[in-house]
Structure formats: C-alpha cells, structure tokens
Homo-oligomer: A and B are copies of this chain.
Amino acid sequence: MPETSRSTALDTVLEFHRAWTSGDIDAAMDRVADDVVCRAPGEDLTGKDAYREYLAGFAPALTGLAEAATFAQEDRVALFYYPQTATTTTAPAAECFTIRDARIVESVLVFDRLSFGPPSGE
C-alpha cells in the first residue's frame, strides 16, 4: 500500500528543515529528490546540485531561527519561519513543499530579498 501519508510528508520536510538550518546540508539533501525544482526569489533551481549549492550558500548566514507555522495536507507541507541573520530577525520566509516517495520534489520558496540583503546603495 504505497502512499504518501500526511505524517510522512511532514516528517520528510521537518527532517530536511532541521538539518539544513542546523548546517547539516548532507542530511538535508537525503530528503530531496534528484530532479527537485526549487522556485526561489528571482531564480529557479533545477536539480539537487543547484539546490544544495543554494542552501549551502545561505546556511552559514543563519544566526537563529524562529518557527511561525507549519501546515501539512496530503503530499504538501508549508512552513512559515523567521530565518535570523545579521541583517534581520523579523523577516519571514515561506516554503511550500511537494513530497513524493518521502522525498522533496518541489519547493516554492518565498522571501523578500530586500529584507535579507544589505541595501546595495540608496
């Protein structure tokens, strides 16, 4: 009876989320499908290598994390959280994950780049 139960999809996402936000990119990538697509602000990341590089680039900037809300419905999971960096502790991020066979196959990642990056000049 293969199926993606709600708890399995949620488990997959929470394991992924806890791993990368604690700096363990390898463990996070164990929960990601090879052909993952991540729709990130300003760019689409296609494939596991591109997604890994993106997360590995941001993870070191994290100084803390505050969770805001978690939703799970069938094969989809949504997270709202506040990634804390030297620039901001109050700008939220939202992610909508699609899970298949206990792996993340799609992520729609939403955050405001202006809130996280230092202004590049007035």
Chain A contact residue count (CB 8 A cutoff): 24
Task: State whether the Cβ of A73 lies closer than 8 Å to any Cβ in chain B.
Answer: yes
Residues of B close to A80: CB separation below 8 A = 78, 94, 96, 108, 110
Task: State whether the Cβ of A39 lies closer than 8 Å to any Cβ in chain B.
Answer: yes
Chain B proximity of A76: nearest CB distance (Å): 6
* A90-102 interface code vs B (CB 8 A; 1 in, 0 out): 1111101000000
Q: How many copies does the complex hold?
A: 2
Chain B proximity of A91: nearest CB distance (Å): 7
Q: Which residues of A contact B (CB under 8 A)?
A: 39, 41-42, 68-69, 71-73, 76, 78, 80, 90-94, 96, 108, 110-115
**Top 10 A-B pairs ranked by shortest CB distance?**
A94-B94, A71-B71, A41-B112, A94-B110, A80-B96, A110-B110, A78-B78, A69-B96, A113-B114, A71-B78
